[in-house]
Structure 1
Amino acid sequence: MRLPNILSLLALCSASTLAAADPVTKKIDLLEVIKSGNVEYHVNPKADFHDAPRDIWTFAKDGTFNISGRGYGYVATKQDYRDYHLVIEFKWGTKTWGKREKAAKDNGILLHAYGPHGAYGDTWMASIEAQIIEGGVGDILVLSPKLADGTELTTSLSAEIALDRDKEKIWRKGEPRQTVTKGRINWKGRDEDWADKIGFRGKDDVESPSGEWNRLEVIARGDTLQYFVNGAMVNEAFDCKPSQGKILLQTEGAEMIVRRYELYPLGEFKEKWSAIQASGGSDIGAVRDGQDKPLTPEESLKRIQIDGPYEAQIVATEPLVLDPVEVTWDDQGRLFVADMRDYPLGPPNPGDPWLSRIQLLTDEDGDGRMDKAVTFADHMDNVQGLLPHDGGLIATTRSQILFLKDTDGDNKADLVKPLIRGFNPKHSQLQVSAPRWGPDGCVHFNNGLDAREIYPADAPAKVVGVPGSNFKWNPKTGEITPTGGKGQYGGAFDDWGHHFYCSNRNPLMFTVMPYEAMLRNPHAGITQVHEDIAPFGAETRVYPLQITHTTADAHAGTNTACSGLGVYRGSLMAELRNNVFVPDPTGQLVTRYRIEPNGASLKAVRVGERTEFFRSSDEWSRPVNFTTGPDGAIYICDIYRRWIDHARFFPEEFVKTHDMRQGENHGRIWRIVPKGGRKLQPVTAGASPAGLNHLKPFASLPAEHADRALFLKIPTLTDSSELAGILTQHADDPWMAKMTASVSAGKMGHVLSRLGDSFFASYSDTRSQTLRTFAAGSLADGKADDIAALLTLLKKQPGQLLWWKPALLQGLAKLPKGHDDAATEITALQSRIDAIISDSAAPIDQRLAVLPLLASRKWTAVEPVVKSLLTSPQPAELTTATVALLKKFSATNTAPLIYDLLPKAGPALKRDLVPILTANATTALDLFKRMEKGEFPTAWVDVETRWRYQRGSGEMTDLAKKLFGEANSNRAGVVTAYLEAAKKPGDAKKGQQVFATICITCHKHGQLGVDVGPPLSDVKVKPPEALVADILDPNRMFEARWSAYQVDTTDGRSLSGLIQNETSDAIVLAMMGGLKETLPRSAIRQMKSLDRTLMPDGLEAAITKEQMSDLIAFLLGK
């Protein structure tokens, strides 16, 4: 018998005579199995695209498993499995490829797989598929491939099957069973009008909208299979042959993100699915007004759960402490507490004294629970942060930073000295906070998000600008210095001097490089020195036990109120040392993170599987601050309030009818210690202060932080070859590149010319950016020898447009005269650009790389290329890049082409083109005049632009008011008039069109829109009435970070957007449509705050009441 027939027989036998696999008896995390490498990969080598497996299946920083879709194939377990409960949670990404670029996003899981790899069409194994496709999640597909010699591997099952309108098989409980050996069995609610097009959604689909999370479950019990999608059973099969096998996770032309991929023993997975989880959260007890009465401290203690071998104890409660937000111990070991009793709106009656205070607590009977309090300082303005200093305390308040000291021994502060002034936050959630001693001997503070110009109290003329930056104070000199980063409430240092901090939606940020590094080289292009090292915004995950959904920024299983971040620096629980803990009072919880090296930076890894380090089912429990005590215990301040969000962020009617200070006469401080240990007694006056955090020395970095140690050493290096060696060795580390650029002023060309060959071996965004930055910096420095060194790079493989040469050419866009050899090479390379751009068969990465080079040409030479690209089918990213190129030219020159394009442009392109005209006063006026004549509809102009041009006086203002009308100044009245829309059922599909017309340029919902304004990840659990108020009266309250600015440039543009970062040399402006632009201050003619968000008043002119109902239905996912 020939060998192929023997193999075929073995494959055939494997379906019915597989060696019995063991049932799953413990949880198996398949993502960890993939990480371990105990898997096999297969990608069809004959497909129109087939990236390497390592590029298709990757793990992101946040731990999610990303499937690029750039191929057809799978990652397979090596082991066979049977009798299990499979759980996968996934969401679609934004990218599709090749022949499925415009088709429904497609993927799947192959179950009971057996036989040769790629037996089915060179792509799949013989198996039963749990289909994952838009509109068809939960379909069953039976794959029975035929081998090359004609042998068929027969997979079979039976199911209760009916036929739909189009005679397709569909599962229907109770119908007669039929045996199936190939083909598809539709899930029970599959739309009969299903079409293979991207974004398809059927009327009865149970899967979440694209961009939101889904859960697919498969219960394999004996020879049966049951499929569940988001908690609903959608398909079932019997008599499965085989009833065991490998499990394969596919890639099929669409980007998909997986956050969970697990096997459980039968009967052990009991988690319910909820709409909250689709937005990224957990299955929690969602209530409206919830718990209406406080619990006693003892009752509340019983409601606390701690993850690990730890327990909670009571340290102090009301009346000793009321609304505690910070604890600290002075050099004598005395315990001080900041009681922020003014939260949220200050004293109840105008003119009354401030209510905040500092309490000094003592434990008189030694039982570990405080039983005496002395008010150290009273009538303070929103006291929030405390730090021991010089025998007294530094205290942060709403409007100033103070030093307080008891000089006569009566335990009351008789010396109250202002240190720093100039703070004027819009509300108390935005005030300066978190005073902490740093390794440099200075006191570091969180900006609070609203601090801009501050000064020493004894030297008002020495104003220091700190917009967008934390800052430090030197106690010896009184000097104030920006430090970069922008923390809100909560910050701390670890043993090695790493500074961490948080803000509402950003649980863990880290200052990667010193602020002064950003200033050393003005041509290094560095605009910020910090980064988020944990998932932030909508990508965060929290798992509360209970939550009240009445806050304006309703919680949907994501962080919305990160505060009081702390680092555990004690020795009592050594396993927690240098872990970072982030309270979120909205969810009554504290999240634990482990910090790990990540090149020059760090990364935070969440500890705890679908749980929290600390969480409470007492809805009034509001943990707001984490501190390590001198006894090694953890201390958590619990402000204990019914309503924790600031009153400004609740609907106006809600505030009128509810006591926003409810709980003001309560407060708890909890201690976390090893379970079952002795009850610890806090350090008392006169005891050894060795355990005090502010007295602990900082240590040198350990060996595992070698890359970071090298990074911090870079500022001491001067040799170009040594710097180039670091860039070569760490070519894909953006922070190494930034730090190297910061010390390379005057020699950026020399450094580039010394890069090793391995730097050029492969493309990455970081390498490309490094080349552009260093090349442009060399030209900006203007040193002839450095430019000459840079140009030697062009001699490497002359005439070949390799991946790195376009990046280099972008940096050389303004090459001075006198470099004839280089100019000849540049001309030769430029001559190939047009051919590459217009070649649809050329790799998209190469087309995108060379397109920006056209910006160096005159508009008349570029116009035909731009017109061709925008009037013919192109990949979406190339269209986006073409519009970005268009924006680099004067609107007065490009306007004729834009007017020519507009009538035929689709909605997305139209949204990009119109703002080019409206950003320039001259072309905006011309556009408005054309609209007045009826040439173009006024609906094309976004609401923010309408509002901007209606301000002031003159021809433009008069015309804008005529075209668009004026907003009703009675915003509360407008909201009231629309509240009926909140009560009516709307049409979500129509609401999607409203969103696409009005909201898409600033907000992202699912896969629609861009993230410029506040995220919408939490709206699904928000009361409809609150949504109406947010949409029609968006400027009644907002955080400083969402404040819009108008920037008039020296080249005649008028831009508006949000300032994302700023330095003394430049700002980064985020504008509608998702465009970001770094503007040197020398290019800014005028910049002013608009004292509102990018979302203007007056949207009622663009949204009818019926459309409001539809929009709310869409936002809430109805």
Structure 2
Amino acid sequence: MDKRIFPHVMLSLAFTTPVWAQRNLKELPPVDVASQMASFELAPGLEINLFAQEPLIAKPIQMSWDEKGRLWVASSAIYPQIKPGQPQADRILVVEDTNGDGVADKSTVFYEGLLVPTGIMPGDGGAYVANSTELLFMKDTDGDGRADETKVLLSGFGTEDTHHILHSIKRGPDGNVYFAQSVYIHSHIETPFGPRRLLGSGWWQFRPESGKLEVFSMGQVNPWGMVWDQWGRTFTTDGAYGEGINFTFPGATFLCLPNQLPRILKGLNPGQPKQAGLERISGRHFPEEMQGQLITNDFRGHRVNRFAVKEEGSGFSSQQLPDVVRSTHGSFRPVDVRMGPDGALYLADWYNPIIQHGEVDFHDPRRDREHGRIWRITAKGRPVVAQLDYEKLSVDGLLDHLADPEDWVRINVKQELKRRKVEGLYKLVMDRATAPAATPDFKREAIGLLQSCLLMTADNPLLTAEAGADFQMETVRASGQLFLDGKPGNADVLFKGVNSDAAKVRLEAVNALRRMGSAKAVEAATLALGKAMDDN
């Protein structure tokens, strides 16, 4: 055999083996929790406990924490296909640990009657829900814990494939909402700013306050995981292709069947299996050596993968580390992963011996439609993080936590301040951010707060502050976002950025100039050609 072909044949066999295993499955794995627990092999220094199981939850697809420490779960027993005459009965669940012992003891059905919901994100007084062709916003207006008001925010997303439909909703550090669609989906969405189209896979960026929707990146076969580092740089994973962690900046394009995109970027870990969900370790619970590591799920291989990324040129290199957890249990299917308000790592376990839907009949009786679990992973001997009561904190108290080491705390602080509509907030933030003692971390989060509250302007002094290359990336990106939002941006910040000695700043500047959309911007972008170039 041609040695050049052999690795690709082996890779193909590695990806198809689980398919045949599913088709020939004769004996289903035991459903009891003890059997699953006994099958886990954890990385040294970690331990695992069951946070929630049926009847509190079933069939979790995506999960997201709210500011009160409650876990919202998008649940679908209908997936992959509704039967003729079957009612829509999929649910959004809200799960709580009311006594703080690390085990859920309460579950509320927030809404029942959905069709394969594949995204959930609480926020803005309600919850954003991806429901097949629509992005919904649901609210509980009478305090009974159940949604009684539903608004269609966006519609026109394609439905060609139920594991490619609109999914994976997340709040970015800039206050925008991000979500994905996958390769077979063709979407045509009407917005207040005109129609937006995406004929294939990619990530969307959405500003709920204005209704502005834009394509953030294109490609990946089945993008199903997004997260940001502390400087707002984006990483994604692909649930149907094998390149591991992807550095995904605005305008990035990746492989997308039928390979219709003209310039294709590569993932950072070629040869990886399909991976779903993505989280970044941050905060005081896990040890220093784990900080910044990226966690994703090999749902076909019954394991949770771990990667360390390192800056290289304008982007990153990525090294795979020992798995967080692996299992020999055939129904362990981790599909989402999130840091919790206590600093622990939570896994959404789809729990099913049969996955996907192309290889096995839609209504195969071996498909599990009853079970589902949430697992909680902690570091042995280390205290968990205290849950903040954001509503009780003063404005100054919230600002004290704006640069906390926990990613989720920083986002919750921004959202709470946005909710309060604080009079004079701009001055309060700027007084702190421009004080001599202000750290680059606080300045960075101040920019994100002002973006979240729609208070960022082109003349903001932070955009021209000197605080190193990392902070310059943030100022360039923020100015580019102003142009994308149709507001005046600070072109001088972009012109300076494209001449930076730091490749990562030049990359941000070229992307931001594209958003500026003028002949002068094109001319300025070409200046980057005079410096060292890489694949990004």
TM > 0.5: yes
Q: Counterpart amino acid of 2:249?
A: V
Q: Aligned residue for 2:125?
A: 391
Q: Residues 452-467 of structure 1 correspond to what in structure 2 (within 5 A)?
A: 452-455=186-189, 462-467=194-199
Q: Counterpart amino acid of 1:643?
A: I
Q: Counterpart amino acid of 1:464?
A: R
Task: Output one character per residue of 1:943-980: Cα deviation in whole Å (capped at 9) or x when no partner.
Answer: xxxxxxxxxxxxxxxxxxxxxxxxxxxxxxxxxxxxxx
Work out whether residues 637 and 669 of structure 1, in 8 Å CA contact, stay in contact via their aligned partners in 2: yes
Task: Output one character per residue of 1:1044-1067: Cα deviation in whole Å (capped at 9) or x when no partner.
Answer: xxxxxxxxxxxxxxxxxxxxxxxx
Q: Aligned residue for 1:301?
A: 37
Q: Aligned residue for 2:87?
A: 353
1:578 to 2:284 alignment: no
Tell me which of 215, 234, 254 is aligned to 1:499: 234
Tell me which of 35, 49, 53 is aligned to 1:313: 49
Q: CA deviation at 1:414?
A: 0.9
Q: Aligned residue for 1:568?
A: 281
Work out whether residues 336 and 358 of structure 1, in 8 Å CA contact, stay in contact via their aligned partners in 2: yes
Work out whether residues 623 and 639 of structure 1, in 8 Å CA contact, stay in contact via their aligned partners in 2: yes
Change (3 A) 1:738 1:309: same
Task: Output one character per residue of 1:516-545: Cα deviation in whole Å (capped at 9) or x when no partner.
Answer: xxxxxxxxxx966x9444224xx22xxxxx
Q: CA deviation at 1:623?
A: 0.2
Q: Say which SS state the counterpart of residue 351 (structure 2) adopts.
A: coil
Task: Output one character per residue of 1:662-685: Cα deviation in whole Å (capped at 9) or x when no partner.
Answer: x21111100010124578998899
Task: Output one character per residue of 1:299-350: Cα deviation in whole Å (capped at 9) or x when no partner.
Answer: 212211222311111100111111112222223332222212222222xx31
Q: Say which SS state the counterpart of residue 378 (structure 1) adopts.
A: strand
Change (3 A) 1:439 1:485: farther
Change (3 A) 1:476 1:485: same
Q: Which has the larger radius of gyration?
A: 1
Q: Aligned residue for 1:968?
A: none
Tell me which of 392, 398, 408 is aligned to 2:142: 408
Q: CA deviation at 1:730?
A: 7.5
Q: CA deviation at 1:386?
A: 1.4
1:343 to 2:79 alignment: yes
Work out whether residues 308 and 320 of structure 2, in 8 Å CA contact, stay in contact via their aligned partners in 1: yes
What TM-score, normalized to structure 1? 0.36
Q: Aligned residue for 2:257?
A: none
Change (3 A) 1:494 1:327: same
Work out whether residues 385 and 434 of structure 1, in 8 Å CA contact, stay in contact via their aligned partners in 2: yes
Work out whether residues 619 and 642 of structure 1, in 8 Å CA contact, stay in contact via their aligned partners in 2: yes
* Alpha-carbon distance in 1 for matches of 2:276, 2:155: 23
Q: Aligned residue for 1:632?
A: 343
Q: CA deviation at 1:627?
A: 0.4
Task: Output one character per residue of 1:568-617: Cα deviation in whole Å (capped at 9) or x when no partner.
Answer: 33321143333221112111111111222122223322222xxx222111
1:597 to 2:311 alignment: yes
Q: Aligned residue for 1:111?
A: none
What TM-score, normalized to structure 2? 0.70
Change (3 A) 1:703 1:640: farther
* Alpha-carbon distance in 2 for matches of 1:626, 1:720: 35
Q: Say which SS state the counterpart of residue 44 (structure 2) adopts.
A: coil
Higher relative contact order (CA 8 A, sep 6+): 2
1:672 to 2:377 alignment: yes
Q: Aligned residue for 1:212?
A: 6
Q: CA deviation at 1:713?
A: 9.6
* Alpha-carbon distance in 1 for matches of 2:511, 2:362: 53
Q: Say which SS state the counterpart of residue 312 (structure 1) adopts.
A: strand
* Alpha-carbon distance in 2 for matches of 1:384, 1:718: 41
Q: Counterpart amino acid of 2:359?
A: F
* Alpha-carbon distance in 2 for matches of 1:497, 1:442: 12
Tell me which of 217, 222, 245 is aligned to 1:508: 245
Q: Residues 894-933 of structure 1 correspond to what in structure 2 (within 5 A)?
A: none
* Alpha-carbon distance in 2 for matches of 1:684, 1:747: 45
Change (3 A) 1:710 1:395: closer
Q: Aligned residue for 1:381?
A: 115
Task: Structure 2 unaligned segments of length 5 or more: list them.
Answer: 253-260, 415-440, 446-466, 481-489
Task: Output one character per residue of 1:133-186: Cα deviation in whole Å (capped at 9) or x when no partner.
Answer: x9xxxxxxxxxxxxxxxxxxxxxxxxxxxxxxxxxxxxxxxxxxxxxxxxxxxx
Work out whether residues 358 and 377 of structure 1, in 8 Å CA contact, stay in contact via their aligned partners in 2: yes
Task: Output one character per residue of 1:675-707: Cα deviation in whole Å (capped at 9) or x when no partner.
Answer: 245789988998989764541568639968589
Q: Say which SS state the counterpart of residue 302 (structure 1) adopts.
A: helix
Work out whether residues 307 and 613 of structure 1, in 8 Å CA contact, stay in contact via their aligned partners in 2: yes
Task: Structure 1 unaligned segments of length 5 or more: list them.
Answer: 1-133, 135-198, 200-208, 215-274, 516-525, 541-558, 771-1118
Q: Aligned residue for 1:230?
A: none
* Alpha-carbon distance in 2 for matches of 1:718, 1:367: 53
Q: Say which SS state the counterpart of residue 300 (structure 2) adopts.
A: helix
Q: Aligned residue for 1:606?
A: 320
Q: Say which SS state the counterpart of residue 117 (structure 2) adopts.
A: coil
Q: Say which SS state the counterpart of residue 331 (structure 2) adopts.
A: coil
Q: Say which SS state the counterpart of residue 394 (structure 1) adopts.
A: strand
Task: Output one character per residue of 1:827-873: Cα deviation in whole Å (capped at 9) or x when no partner.
Answer: xxxxxxxxxxxxxxxxxxxxxxxxxxxxxxxxxxxxxxxxxxxxxxx
Tell me which of 308, 322, 333 is aligned to 1:622: 333
Change (3 A) 1:455 1:295: same
Q: Counterpart amino acid of 2:196?
A: V
Work out whether residues 323 and 639 of structure 1, in 8 Å CA contact, stay in contact via their aligned partners in 2: yes
Tell me the C-alpha RMSD between the 2 structures: 4.5
Q: Counterpart amino acid of 1:301?
A: M
Q: Residues 222-261 of structure 1 correspond to what in structure 2 (within 5 A)?
A: none
Q: Aligned residue for 1:477?
A: 210
Q: Say which SS state the counterpart of residue 300 (structure 1) adopts.
A: helix
Change (3 A) 1:681 1:703: closer
Q: Counterpart amino acid of 2:365?
A: D
Work out whether residues 217 and 249 of structure 2, in 8 Å CA contact, stay in contact via their aligned partners in 1: no
Q: CA deviation at 1:480?
A: 1.6
Q: Aligned residue for 1:11?
A: none
Work out whether residues 339 and 356 of structure 1, in 8 Å CA contact, stay in contact via their aligned partners in 2: yes
Change (3 A) 1:470 1:210: closer
Work out whether residues 312 and 673 of structure 1, in 8 Å CA contact, stay in contact via their aligned partners in 2: yes
Q: CA deviation at 1:643?
A: 0.5
Work out whether residues 368 and 682 of structure 1, in 8 Å CA contact, stay in contact via their aligned partners in 2: no
Q: Aligned residue for 1:326?
A: 62
Q: Residues 1004-1023 of structure 1 correspond to what in structure 2 (within 5 A)?
A: none
Q: Residues 13-24 of structure 1 correspond to what in structure 2 (within 5 A)?
A: none
Work out whether residues 513 and 522 of structure 2, in 8 Å CA contact, stay in contact via their aligned partners in 1: yes
* Alpha-carbon distance in 2 for matches of 1:496, 1:416: 35
* Alpha-carbon distance in 2 for matches of 1:499, 1:705: 14
Task: Output one character per residue of 1:638-662: Cα deviation in whole Å (capped at 9) or x when no partner.
Answer: 010010122x234xxxx3994252x
Task: Output one character per residue of 1:11-52: Cα deviation in whole Å (capped at 9) or x when no partner.
Answer: xxxxxxxxxxxxxxxxxxxxxxxxxxxxxxxxxxxxxxxxxx
Identity of aligned residues (%): 23
* Alpha-carbon distance in 2 for matches of 1:755, 1:635: 44
Change (3 A) 1:737 1:644: same
* Alpha-carbon distance in 1 for matches of 2:498, 2:385: 54
Q: CA deviation at 1:400?
A: 0.7
**Structure richer in helix, relative to its length:** 1
Q: Counterpart amino acid of 1:511?
A: T
* Alpha-carbon distance in 2 for matches of 1:589, 1:696: 33
Work out whether residues 61 and 348 of structure 2, in 8 Å CA contact, stay in contact via their aligned partners in 1: yes
Q: Counterpart amino acid of 1:393?
A: A
* Alpha-carbon distance in 1 for matches of 2:344, 2:84: 41
* Alpha-carbon distance in 2 for matches of 1:597, 1:490: 20
How many residues were matched structurally? 448
